[in-house]
Structure 1
Amino acid sequence: MSDANALKDQGNKAFAAKRYDEAIDLFTQAIALDPSNHVLYSNRSAAKAGKKQWTEALEDAEQCIKVNPTWSKGYARKGAALHGAQRWEEAISAYEEGLAIEDSAALQKGLKEVKEAAAAAVGNDEGATGITKMFADPNLFGKLAGNPRTAPLLADQSFVNQLKLIQANPTLAGNSFNDPRMIAVLGVLMGVDIQGATRPEGSNEMPPGFGSSPFSAQPGPSSPPPKPAAPQPKKEPEPEPEPEPEDEEAKEKKRAKTEADAEKAKGAAAYKAKDFDTAEQAFSKAWEISPTDITYLTNLAATYFEKGEYDKCIETCEKAVDEGRSLRADYKLIAKALGRIGTAYSRKDDLDNAIKYFSKSLTEHRTPDILNKLRDAEKVKGERAKQAYINPELSAKAREEGNAQFKAGDFAESVKSYTESIKRDPNDPRGYNNRAAAYNKLAALPEALKDVETAIKVDPKFVKAYIRKSTILFAMREFTKAMEAIQEAAAADTEKQHTREIEQQMEKVAR
């Protein structure tokens, strides 16, 4: 997917410039083109982590693992997202899962950092920072519900409300440690059995190993002076995300594409020199090396076409269309392959399939060349259909049926019969002349005039057509033209078989 790789490269550049929104958008576009590319999910996870969008970063990391569960860097992404969300134990598990696949320095570093951050958060005697972070954990209630000691406490809505208040402002936790339930909560958050230590109800004494509450009131005069607070451990920085470098698979694809393009160039040169055998070998090899560009196939089909191997041309173009669909190739390339199929069918004199594929090509992309080929094929097909329909005997039969209908005064039906007669034998002027008479009776004078002119064109010596023309022009009050037509009838009647009809029409027009 060359387009997806280009978008990925642009996304990496935007990420390097800390333009995280732009990077996310570019990686998203790339994923739409190539949803099976695990590296794209990894890179988008990194960009979301750059914006501190830990939940979204985690979703992409998990999708990366789903697409390719054997790629250790996906677990590094997951660990980094969980680290940023301060879900220490889950982050540690993610890094350890990755290390089970590959003992990489990046995973070791991430695991070390998250363990140090978790230790700093707990911080035994080192101030309130660790405790406040524990109560600020967004997964607070999930952890409590999953522990048999604290799960029953969540049935008390007032206690739940108190926890929510502390979660919103963890510095209030110190005022609640006289409640043994809060000690149980703290133990679950710390992962130690604080509940194992007992103290009197209302006592502020903290369990052994935990030290004095950092939130307790200042000691009275009788109390020994407090020890100076130990320095806060330096907070480990959140993991800085990095886009994945181009993996070996992508590098191999680029190398193969370069080699295939070289074969394509060799084939094009041979094609121009009309060395079609060499061109065929080069284009075939290009597709074998890098089956990602259907121009290799359409070019190969062109060589088969020039060699007169039309079936191979069609087969190769059909493969180009199928592969192009799966590769989401440019619709213009799909149209070109379909058009070439149509041209091959034209050479095979299979006009039905030629028209079918020319039409398909125009649906993908409209070009004048294919449109003209479609019209030519349809014209030839129409002419052939007309020729195949010609049958003088059936023409005469249809004309006789029309004559009977005309005499019965059924002029509309007679038009249909005469039309069938014309189709069966378009070179017989009688069909046109008789239909003109029926049109005249129906007062369709323009159609009648057109038919007699066609009859004269088919047979310039057909006297009855001239007489009919004069009659129609007279009805249209074109008296001069009517006289000219009857004079033409007289000139055509060399054997004087229609003298009486001609003289009667002349007298009628001359009045």
Structure 2
Amino acid sequence: MSGRFPTPMDVDSQSPPTKASEQKKAEPPKPAEPKVDEMNEEERKKYFAKKEKDAGNNAYKKKDFETALKHYHAALEHDPTDITFHNNIAAVYFEQKQYDDCIKECEKGIEVGRENRADFKLIAKALARIGNSYRKMEDYKQAKVYFEKAMSEHRTPEIKTSLSEVEAKIKEEERRAYINPELAEVEKEKGNELFKKGDYSNAVKHYSEAIKRNPDDPKLYSNRAACYTKLAAFDLGLKDCETCINLDDKFIKGYIRKGKILQGMQKSSKASAAYLKALEIDPQNAEALEGYRQCSISYQRSPEDVMKNALGDPEVQQILKDPAMRVILDQMQTDPKAAKE
């Protein structure tokens, strides 16, 4: 390298810096200002536009938005073909919560950008800012439209995240708009009639519609759980019981249904715990007492039943791959007392 910009070298930290080394570390001289008189008309316009934009950016960083706007508008007067100035003006309006003005300025910028073949990233930026303005105004459907347009110009993680967020908002709005407790009651009664007739699959459809209409009613989940139990869809029924209990931890039917499902899944200890929860709420509840009694009896099974149940458990099957465990299994088969152990 030339002597003007030497490569700095490591020095002993205990040695005081010399004047020569201080000179080497000095900042290189700033480039000379371009000579405006030597520029053509086009270059002169862009030069002054950039100076105004830089001044506007400095004011924007200080949150002096009115001053920033003056400089950005001045930049536009020098060079009306640059989308960046429109984007910057829109950014100020956004900060000032003037969202309608922000949208209009972005639309102007997009028009100018299209006419002058601006970088697609700048077009995407303007479209995304329109989307953010609509989101601030809680018009999520319009926000979604513009985030999708921005994505078609230039995909970025930020725009993708914004799109996902407004889609979630739209979905939640639609869910809330659909809620109607009166219609939920109508659907529940239809489900009850079908349940009595033994048409469990169609009863599930009506209970599901009732839940959509009134998602905070624990009885609806309990009813659907009863249908799932009849259809042997134990996992779905158990999930509904959990939802039911989360909505109302004093709703005894939720614990009883949970106990019955767990019994059907041959999980007697967990079923017993569910019945005990029900008995905490009502110690005299006949269904809970009977369920708990049945779970207690199931613990007193014969050795053959114990072995049969164990062999059907995937975890036990994995354990029995061990040769030592096979020896124990053989002992269980030849000696009933070993099975009890």
| TM-score using structure 2 length | 0.72
Quote the Cα distance in structure 1 between the aligned partners of 2:219 and 2:66: 59
- 1:450 positional shift: 0.4
User: Which residue is equivalent to 1:365?
Assistant: 154
Quote the Cα distance in structure 1 between the aligned partners of 2:260 and 2:217: 21
**2:193 aligned to which of 404, 412, 436:** 404
Listed one character per residue, the Cα deviations across residues 444-490 of structure 1 (whole Å, up to 9, x for unaligned) are 11111100010000000111111100111111111111111111111
Which residue identity does 1:457 align to in structure 2? N
Quote the Cα distance in structure 1 between the aligned partners of 2:210 and 2:80: 58
User: Which residue is equivalent to 1:510?
Assistant: 296
State whether structure 2 residue 245 is matched by structure 1 residue 456.
Answer: yes
**2:115 aligned to which of 326, 329, 336:** 326
Question: Relative to structure 2, which stretch is displaced further, 402-411 or 284-293?
Answer: 284-293
Listed one character per residue, the Cα deviations across residues 266-324 of structure 1 (whole Å, up to 9, x for unaligned) are 11112112221221122122122212321111001011112222111001111212222
- 1:422 positional shift: 1.1
**2:47 aligned to which of 255, 258, 274:** 258
User: Which residue is equivalent to 1:437?
Assistant: 226
User: Which residue is equivalent to 2:31?
Assistant: none
User: Which residue is equivalent to 2:74?
Assistant: 285
**1:351 aligned to which of 119, 140, 144:** 140
Quote the Cα distance in structure 2 between the aligned partners of 1:359 and 1:412: 39
Listed one character per residue, the Cα deviations across residues 199-231 of structure 1 (whole Å, up to 9, x for unaligned) are xxxxxxxxxxxxxxxxxxxxxxxxxxxxxxxxx
Which residue identity does 1:434 align to in structure 2? N
Which residue identity does 2:253 align to in structure 1? K
User: Which residue is equivalent to 1:296?
Assistant: 85
Listed one character per residue, the Cα deviations across residues 229-282 of structure 1 (whole Å, up to 9, x for unaligned) are xxxxxxxxxxxxxxxxxxxxx932222111111111111112112221221122
User: Which residue is equivalent to 1:337?
Assistant: 126
State, as a whole percentage, how many aligned pairs show the same letter: 47
User: Which residue is equivalent to 2:174?
Assistant: 385
State whether structure 2 residue 211 is matched by structure 1 residue 425.
Answer: no
Quote the Cα distance in structure 2 between the aligned partners of 1:442 and 1:284: 70
User: Which residue is equivalent to 2:57?
Assistant: 268
Quote the Cα distance in structure 1 between the aligned partners of 2:221 and 2:94: 45
Which residue identity does 2:287 align to in structure 1? E
Which residue identity does 2:293 align to in structure 1? E
User: Which residue is equivalent to 1:79?
Assistant: none
Quote the Cα distance in structure 2 between the aligned partners of 1:294 and 1:407: 68
Quote the Cα distance in structure 2 between the aligned partners of 1:493 and 1:371: 52
| TM-score using structure 1 length | 0.49
Quote the Cα distance in structure 1 between the aligned partners of 2:275 and 2:110: 64
SS of equivalent to 1:291: coil
After superposition, residues 201-220 of structure 1 pair within 5 angstroms as none
Quote the Cα distance in structure 2 between the aligned partners of 1:359 and 1:478: 49
User: Which residue is equivalent to 2:18?
Assistant: none
Quote the Cα distance in structure 2 between the aligned partners of 1:393 and 1:355: 32
After superposition, residues 178-193 of structure 1 pair within 5 angstroms as none
Quote the Cα distance in structure 1 between the aligned partners of 2:247 and 2:195: 23
- 1:418 positional shift: 0.8
Runs of 5+ unmatched residues, structure 2:
1-38, 298-341
Which residue identity does 1:486 align to in structure 2? Y
- 1:502 positional shift: 1.3
User: Which residue is equivalent to 1:218?
Assistant: none
Rg larger in structure: 1
Quote the Cα distance in structure 2 between the aligned partners of 1:363 and 1:481: 53
Question: Relative to structure 2, which stretch is displaced further, 252-261 or 426-435?
Answer: 252-261
- 1:424 positional shift: 1.4
SS of equivalent to 2:40: helix
Quote the Cα distance in structure 1 between the aligned partners of 2:98 and 2:286: 67
- 1:427 positional shift: 1.3
SS of equivalent to 1:427: coil
- 1:366 positional shift: 2.2
Which residue identity does 2:55 align to in structure 1? K
Quote the Cα distance in structure 2 between the aligned partners of 1:338 and 1:407: 56
Quote the Cα distance in structure 2 between the aligned partners of 1:362 and 1:368: 10
